[in-house]
Amino acid sequence: MNYRLIPNIITILRIILVAPIIWLLIEQQFMSALILFAVAGASDALDGFLARHYHWQSWWGSVLDPLADKILQVSCYITLAWMGHIPIWLVATIVLRDIVIVLGALLYHHRIDAFEAAPSIISKFNTFAQIILILMVVLHIGVYALPENFLQGMFWLVLFTTVYSGVDYVYRWTHRAVKHRAS
């Protein structure tokens, strides 16, 4: 077996975990959903560690890993919004930001130069906040009720970081495209 494939195999398994997590949410098996979500999170950390530590990074891994994260997050957000636990306007903002980033990356790649994903600090914080919000909502509806204004504050924090990181991506990559065209 080619050990360099292990991080990608773990990432593919994380993608496969999305269906059972969504099913558990719909079936209101919130503790089990939290456990599987934690397993998915641990697998994300594990595949990243293995890829970096053993220099097993690959182009496929650089595409699959963020894709797996987005599939899991967006699926959870859509499901929780459908169930009435997360505002639709927040989910729409998150999905719109992701669409803008993907379309911008494709446009940059095909019209300017090769696109290499380099998440900014605000983007990393946004991802962290989005994950924490999913955990908080599932915890709130199924395990331990959190104060309502605490959840509302997290909704607004995630909205702010989502918009800010989206604007940051557009600004940075537009600036980079203009510099590249000028040279």
For the residues of 67-100, what is the DSSP string, one character each?
HHHHHHHHHHHHHHHHTTSS-HHHHHHHHHHHHH
Q: Rounded mean pLDDT of 10-29? A: 98
Q: Could you read off the pLDDT of 114-152 as tens digits, one per residue?
A: 877 778 999 999 999 999 999 999 999 999 999 999 999
Domain boundaries, the chain: 1-69, 85-183
At residue 1, the pLDDT reads 75
Query: Of 73, 85, 82, whose CA–CA distance to 148 is shortest?
Result: 85
- For residue 31, pLDDT over 80 is answered with yes
The answer to whether 137 and 86 are in contact (CB under 8 A) is yes
The answer to whether 158 and 90 are in contact (CB under 8 A) is yes
The answer to whether 72 and 19 are in contact (CB under 8 A) is no
Q: What's the whole-number average pLDDT of the chain?
A: 94
Query: Of 74, 68, 73, whose CA–CA distance to 7 is shortest?
Result: 68
* pTM, rounded to two decimals: 0.92
Helix (H) or strand (E) holding 125: helix 121-142
- For residue 88, pLDDT over 80 is answered with yes
